[in-house]
Amino acid sequence: MTDLPARVTLHEEGPREGFQFEKTLFPLAERVRFVDMLSATGLSRIQVASFVSPRMVPQMADSAELFGAIAKPSGVRHTSLWLSEKGYRQAAETPGVDLSGLILLYASDAFSLRNNGCSADEMRRRQEDWIAMYDADGVDIEAIYIMTAFGCNLQGDIPFAALDANLDWIASRFAGRALPVIYLADTVGWAVPTSVTTRISYVRNRFPDARIGLHLHDTRGAAMASFLVALQLGVTQFDGSVAGLGGCPFAGHGHGAAAGNICTEDMVFMAHEMGIETGVDLEALIEAARMAEALIGRPLPGRVMHGGSLASYRNSTPTIGKRT
Amino acid sequence: MTDLPARVTLHEEGPREGFQFEKTLFPLAERVRFVDMLSATGLSRIQVASFVSPRMVPQMADSAELFGAIAKPSGVRHTSLWLSEKGYRQAAETPGVDLSGLILLYASDAFSLRNNGCSADEMRRRQEDWIAMYDADGVDIEAIYIMTAFGCNLQGDIPFAALDANLDWIASRFAGRALPVIYLADTVGWAVPTSVTTRISYVRNRFPDARIGLHLHDTRGAAMASFLVALQLGVTQFDGSVAGLGGCPFAGHGHGAAAGNICTEDMVFMAHEMGIETGVDLEALIEAARMAEALIGRPLPGRVMHGGSLASYRNSTPTIGKRT
Identify all chain A residues contacting B301, using CB atoms and an 8 Å cutoff: 303
Identify all chain B residues contacting A202, using CB atoms and an 8 Å cutoff: none
Q: What Rg, from alpha-carbon coordinates, does chain A have? A: 19
3-state secondary structure of A216: coil
- The CB-based long-range contact list for B165-170 (8 Å cut-off, 24+ gap) reads B165/B120, B165/B121, B165/B124, B166/B105, B166/B106, B166/B107, B166/B120, B166/B124, B167/B203, B167/B206, B167/B207, B169/B105, B169/B124, B169/B127, B170/B105, B170/B144, B170/B207
Residue B320 has pLDDT above 70, yes or no: no
In whole angstroms, give the CA distance from residue A13 to residue A245. Answer: 9
CATH architecture of A100-235: Alpha-Beta Barrel (3.20)
At residue A321, the pLDDT reads 44
- pLDDT grade for A247, boundaries at 50, 70 and 90: confident
Burial of B315 (0-12, 13-18, 19+ CB in 10 A): exposed
CATH architecture of B100-236: Alpha-Beta Barrel (3.20)
What residue of B is the nearest CA neighbor of A262? B221
CATH architecture of A1-99+241-324: Alpha-Beta Barrel (3.20)
What residue of B is the nearest CA neighbor of A232? B229
Burial of B95 (0-12, 13-18, 19+ CB in 10 A): exposed
Question: Is the distance from CB of B147 to CB of B105 less than 8 angstroms?
Answer: yes
Question: Is the distance from CB of B218 to CB of B260 less than 8 angstroms?
Answer: yes
CB pair distance less than 8 Å for A229 and B1: yes
- pLDDT grade for B17, boundaries at 50, 70 and 90: confident
| HSE-CB of A317 using CA atoms within 13 angstroms | 20
User: Which residue from A222, A195, A253 is spatially nearest to B266, judged by alpha carbons?
Assistant: A222
- How many CB atoms within 10 Å of residue A289? 30
Question: Is the distance from CB of A300 to CB of A243 less than 8 angstroms?
Answer: yes
User: Which residue from A37, A83, A39, A77 is spatially nearest to A60, judged by alpha carbons?
Assistant: A83
Residue range B157-166, pLDDT digits in tens = 998 888 999 9
- Say which residue, A166 or A297, is predicted with more confidence: A166
At residue B41, the pLDDT reads 98
Q: Give me the catalytic one of A118, A152, A248, A263.
A: A248
Extents of the domains making up chain B? 1-93+241-245+262-324, 100-236
CA angle A160–A194–A267, rounded 5-degree value:
110
> How, if at all, do strands B156-157 and B151-152 pair?
antiparallel
At residue B248, the pLDDT reads 64
Average pLDDT over residues B69-76: 96
At residue B22, the pLDDT reads 78
| % of chain A beyond a pLDDT of 90 | 81
As a whole number, the mean pLDDT across chain A is: 92
Average pLDDT over residues A39-44: 98
CATH code for the part of the protein at B1-93+241-245+262-324: 3.20.20.70
Residue B305 has pLDDT above 70, yes or no: yes
Distance from CA of B223 to the nearest CA of A (A): 8
At residue A322, the pLDDT reads 45
> How, if at all, do strands B237-240 and A151-152 pair?
unpaired
CB pair distance less than 8 Å for B266 and A221: yes
- pLDDT grade for B322, boundaries at 50, 70 and 90: very low
Residue A74 has pLDDT above 80, yes or no: yes
CB pair distance less than 8 Å for A310 and B151: yes
Residue B131 has pLDDT above 90, yes or no: yes
Residue A90 has pLDDT above 70, yes or no: yes
Nearest to B306 among A259, A300, A316 (CB): A259
List the single range of A13-22, B117-126, B137-146, B275-284 with lowest mean pLDDT: A13-22
Q: Is B248 a catalytic residue?
A: yes
- pLDDT grade for A319, boundaries at 50, 70 and 90: very low
- pLDDT grade for A291, boundaries at 50, 70 and 90: very high
- The CB-based long-range contact list for B124-131 (8 Å cut-off, 24+ gap) reads B124/B165, B124/B166, B124/B169, B127/B103, B127/B169, B127/B173, B128/B173, B129/B85, B130/B85, B130/B88, B130/B101, B130/B103, B131/B103, B131/B173
| % of chain A beyond a pLDDT of 70 | 93
At residue A257, the pLDDT reads 65
3-state secondary structure of B253: coil
- Say which residue, B144 or A322, is predicted with more confidence: B144
Residue range B144-195, pLDDT digits in tens = 999 999 999 999 999 888 899 999 999 999 999 999 999 999 999 999 999 9
Residue range A133-148, pLDDT digits in tens = 999 999 999 999 999 9
CB pair distance less than 8 Å for B306 and A254: yes
Cα A311 to its chain centre, rounded Å, is: 27
Amino acid occupying residue B38: L
Bridge partners of B50, per DSSP, are B81
Do the first three CATH levels of A1-99+241-324 and A100-235 match, i.e. the same topology?
yes
CB pair distance less than 8 Å for A307 and B257: no
Longest dimension (CA), chain B: 62
Residue A228 has pLDDT above 90, yes or no: yes
Residue range A255-277, pLDDT digits in tens = 666 778 999 999 999 999 999 99
Q: Please give the ipTM for the structure prediction.
A: 0.95
Average pLDDT over residues B108-118: 92
- pLDDT grade for A251, boundaries at 50, 70 and 90: low
CB pair distance less than 8 Å for A266 and B310: no
Nearest to B263 among A221, A225, A298 (CB): A221
In whole angstroms, give the CA distance from residue A262 to residue A268. Answer: 11
Distance from CA of A163 to the nearest CA of B (A): 12
Average pLDDT over residues B115-136: 96
- pLDDT grade for A253, boundaries at 50, 70 and 90: low
3-state secondary structure of A150: coil
CB pair distance less than 8 Å for B319 and A156: yes
At residue A148, the pLDDT reads 95
Interface test with A, best of B197, B220, B293, B313 (most A CBs within 10 A): B220
In whole angstroms, give the CA distance from residue A254 to residue B305. Answer: 9
At residue B254, the pLDDT reads 61
Distance from CA of A291 to the nearest CA of B (A): 10
Average pLDDT over residues B232-252: 86
Distance from CA of A140 to the nearest CA of B (A): 34
What residue of A is the nearest CA neighbor of B309? A220
Nearest to B310 among A154, A190, A274 (CB): A190
At residue B56, the pLDDT reads 82
Average pLDDT over residues A56-60: 82
User: Which residue from A76, A9, A16, A1 is spatially nearest to A52, judged by alpha carbons?
Assistant: A16
Residue B249 has pLDDT above 60, yes or no: no
In whole angstroms, give the CA distance from residue A186 to residue A148. Answer: 5
At residue A249, the pLDDT reads 57
Beta strands in chain A (DSSP E): 9-12, 45-51, 77-82, 101-106, 141-147, 151-152, 156-157, 181-185, 212-215, 237-240
Residue range A159-207, pLDDT digits in tens = 888 899 999 999 999 999 999 999 999 999 999 999 999 999 999 999 9
